[in-house]
Structure 1
Amino acid sequence: MSKSSASGYKNVKRVRKYEFTHRDVPAAFDGCRLGFVSDLHYRSLLKEKGLRDITRLLNNLRLDALLIGGDLHEGCEYVPDVIAALGVVKTPLGTYAVLGNNDYEACYHDILKEMERQGIHLLEHKADTLKRNGGRIVIAGVRNPFNLGQNGQSPTLSLSPDDFVILLSHTPDYAEDVPVTNTDLVLAGHTHGGQVTLFGLYAPVIPSRYGQRFLTGLRYNSNNTPIIITNGIGTSRKNVRLFAPSEVVVITLRRFVNIEHTMHYE
């Protein structure tokens, strides 16, 4: 289930909320709130005031964990500021990130240094465990999903099918290009929701091999694995958005309860 609401901040148009129910969500994580942001491209359309807005908004949302989908910057000089703004967001379970194509093309080592300084966990083809009240879920991250020669084996393959596993990938294409075995939910960005669309229904230009299929919102790969794709926040090439509003995503996890097994009969 999903719904959207105005963020209350000019520079982030909306908060898009999902409730995601799955049998592998532990009881301890029922109601857990995960924030997801991607494609800040600071400074593009996103400037200093917008960056401060994002920090305030994410803190006001009272998230349990923050997940970051990459493409943080539009210049190496902006790396410390954008990562510091995300590092100010405080969550009980921490902040976890993957990188995007912009981040691999320039300033990679600067990003690593600043993320370490801010306590942000960078997941480059590895996984981390989030623990709460005796339960656990797993967050895995893809290293450079455009280089399938080196990274064409999903980091989820070695994980347990009994765990609830979220896979962070900058591009949704990765979940179609390679088997993402043991993944229960993929989070991705990169498409910007098309950035410029015809009433949100069609994007003339979208950076995906699969065209409109992975434009935005909740989609599925060929193995029926759900993928939540965010429009992101910043812009690339031209500083304009049309019917593709900038957004922060909030996912509330719900434990699936089999009603047949919980009913009592006399």
Structure 2
Amino acid sequence: MKKNIFKLTTLCSFLLAGFIYRENNSISKTYIDYNSDKVPYNFEGFKILQISDLHNKLFGKNQKRLLKKIIQETPDIIVITGDIYYSYTHKIKNSLIFLKQISKLYPVYFVTGNHEQRDKNWEKHSKIIKSFGIKIIDNKMEKLRKKNDFIQIYGLKDPSFYDKKTRYIIFEEKLKHIKKYIDEDKLAILLSHRPEKFEIYVENKVDLVFSGHAHGGQVRLFGKGLLTPGEGFFPKYTGGIYKKSDTTMILSRGLGRTIFTVRLFNKPDIVVTTLHTKK
């Protein structure tokens, strides 16, 4: 009897370990279609692949598995919404390996997250990232052109870089300032690490936001996340698509981990968004 119990316990332990490993190392894909009359004709079918919260996680030797998943989608651009650095181990090497390789294949746009703010060597690391040809668009705007058409992409530096007492005031002021230079007749895409500031994006009439930070709620039950860094327990924003007024937010569940080492029912996630002209 005891031997049978031991065997059963051992089997269950192996099955549980295998499940947890798969949950934390299998890469899932979320597909979203974004329709707007602000999408120019020449950007019909334009594909944006989002990476978020990599946190120095390794997916195969030299990030081979992650790169393969991305290449399968043939994106037009890559957007990275912060937290490539992992402040709990103070490491970034695996993320830099990924960035160097992906930048050879696609245009890449990047904004900082709160973990970059904790990186004491961020100035050095940001220079390395820029040397790959990646554009860090913290509080900056770029135009993406196809033939005679263009769309706009702009980013917000993570508010953790500002003084704690005024960081969210400055965060919104930076958004308002960049918006002055936006052509409102053309699609403008915002990259911002913070999904919990969705109402600020709505109030400032942002068209489309790509965000991260929430890690899908770390543990997902019945399609809802349990805990996020920005909202605590039972958060409102954990992953997927959110719409209000004329603003749409696409929220990645991220690839890496936060202070909690385990993701459950919440596999690492990349998001593939295709733009469509509303007819």
Hey, what's the Cα distance between the residues in 2 that align with 1:51 and 1:171? 26
Alpha carbons 2:81, 2:212 under 8 Å: kept: yes
> How many angstroms does 1:178 deviate by?
5.6
TM-score, length basis structure 2: 0.79
> How many angstroms does 1:49 deviate by?
3.7
Alpha carbons 2:202, 2:247 under 8 Å: kept: no
Hey, what's the Cα distance between the residues in 1 that align with 2:43 and 2:104? 14
Stretches (4+) displaced over 6 A:
none
Aligned partner (choices 49, 59, 64) of residue 52 of structure 1: 64
Structure 1 residues 185 and 170: alpha-carbon distance in aligned structure 2, compared to 1, 3 A threshold: same
- Give the SS at the match of 1:208: coil
> How many angstroms does 1:157 deviate by?
4.1
Q: Which residue of 1 aligns with 2:271?
A: 249
Alpha carbons 2:220, 2:265 under 8 Å: kept: yes
Are residues 1:74 and 2:109 paired? no
- Give the SS at the match of 1:173: helix
What is the identity, as a one-letter code, of the residue corresponding to 2:151? I
Hey, what's the Cα distance between the residues in 2 that align with 1:167 and 1:108? 22
Hey, what's the Cα distance between the residues in 2 that align with 1:174 and 1:91? 33
Hey, what's the Cα distance between the residues in 1 that align with 2:140 and 2:201? 16
Alignment of 1:40-189 (within 5 A): 40-43=54-57, 46=58, 49=61, 51-74=63-86, 78-89=91-102, 94-106=107-119, 107-146=121-160, 147-153=167-173, 154=175, 155-177=178-200, 181-189=204-212
Hey, what's the Cα distance between the residues in 1 that align with 2:214 and 2:93? 24
Deviation string 1:211-261 (CA, Å, 9 cap, x unpaired) is 53212111135x45111111000001122111222111011100111xxxx
What is the identity, as a one-letter code, of the residue corresponding to 1:54? L
Q: Which has the larger radius of gyration?
A: 2
Structure 1 residues 200 and 243: alpha-carbon distance in aligned structure 2, compared to 1, 3 A threshold: farther
What is the identity, as a one-letter code, of the residue corresponding to 1:13? I
Hey, what's the Cα distance between the residues in 2 that align with 1:179 and 1:193? 21
Structure 1 residues 228 and 120: alpha-carbon distance in aligned structure 2, compared to 1, 3 A threshold: same
Unmatched 5+ residue regions in structure 2?
1-23, 161-166
Structure 1 residues 240 and 93: alpha-carbon distance in aligned structure 2, compared to 1, 3 A threshold: closer
Aligned partner (choices 220, 231, 236) of residue 213 of structure 1: 236
Q: What RMSD over aligned residues (CA atoms) do the two structures have, in Å?
A: 2.6
Q: Which residue of 2 aligns with 1:11?
A: 25
Hey, what's the Cα distance between the residues in 1 that align with 2:104 and 2:149? 17
- Higher helix proportion (structure 1 or 2): 2
Are residues 1:20 and 2:42 paired? no
> How many angstroms does 1:114 deviate by?
1.5
What is the identity, as a one-letter code, of the residue corresponding to 1:216? G
Q: Which residue of 1 aligns with 2:255?
A: 233
Structure 1 residues 239 and 64: alpha-carbon distance in aligned structure 2, compared to 1, 3 A threshold: same
Structure 1 residues 127 and 93: alpha-carbon distance in aligned structure 2, compared to 1, 3 A threshold: farther
Aligned partner (choices 191, 194, 211) of residue 214 of structure 2: 191
- Give the SS at the match of 1:59: helix
Alpha carbons 1:80, 1:114 under 8 Å: kept: no
- Give the SS at the match of 2:195: coil
- Give the SS at the match of 1:56: helix
